[in-house]
């Protein structure tokens, strides 16, 4: 099982080298997500997730963002209006099986997150995050 704090550390290391692309507001975040869900490669890899109407809503706290796949919602902190946090939250939907086992940032989540990064943020970002995960001792599955 992965240690959540080690995944956050690997993220921080990656974000220092590859800053996230900011999104102006919740509406722009929703457009980014809807565009991603409509991509053919996404629906081929995660057909059930692609069929969902995932709604992004503004969080009431600055501290955290969250995904709740059971009601198709992503709650975003105002600090998290950027592309990489949306990829993180969407990866929870792609790895929903782990959530049902009370594993939030497990190997399946990390594998999905890496794949989404590669497709949406580029191979360099994905490579940096993969190396950071390895350096932090975090396991991840390979998503082809
Ligand atoms: Zn998370």
Rounded CA-CA distance 14/84 in Å is 10
CATH fold label, 4-135: Zincin-like (3.30.2010)
Residue 40 CA to ligand 1 center (angstroms) comes to: 25
Q: Are 10 and 132 in contact (CB under 8 A)?
A: yes
- Select from 20, 43, 60, 133 the least CA-distant residue to 94: 43
CA-based Rg of the chain, rounded to a whole angstrom?
14
pLDDT per residue as tens digits for the range 102-113: 999 999 999 999
Element (H, E) at 75: strand 73-76
pLDDT per residue as tens digits for the range 43-69: 999 999 999 999 999 998 888 899 999
Residue 85 CA to ligand 1 center (angstroms) comes to: 9
Residue 92 CA to ligand 1 center (angstroms) comes to: 7
Q: Are 47 and 94 in contact (CB under 8 A)?
A: no
Supply the pTM of this predicted model. Answer: 0.95
């Amino acid at each position: 099982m992965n240690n959540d704090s080690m995944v956050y550390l690997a993220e921080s290391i990656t974000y220092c080298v590859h800053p996230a692309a900011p999104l102006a507001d919740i509406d722009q975040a929703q457009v980014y997500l809807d565009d991603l869900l409509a991509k053919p490669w996404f629906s081929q890899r995660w057909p059930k997730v692609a069929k969902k109407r995932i709604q992004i809503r503004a969080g009431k706290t600055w501290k955290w963002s969250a995904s709740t796949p059971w009601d198709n919602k992503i709650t975003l902190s105002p600090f998290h209006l950027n592309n990489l946090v949306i990829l993180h939250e969407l990866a929870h939907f792609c790895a929903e099986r782990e959530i049902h086992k009370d594993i939030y940032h497990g190997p399946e989540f990390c594998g999905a997150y890496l794949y989404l990064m590669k497709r949406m943020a580029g191979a360099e970002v994905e490579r940096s995050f993969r190396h950071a995960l390895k350096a932090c001792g975090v396991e991840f599955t390979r998503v082809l």
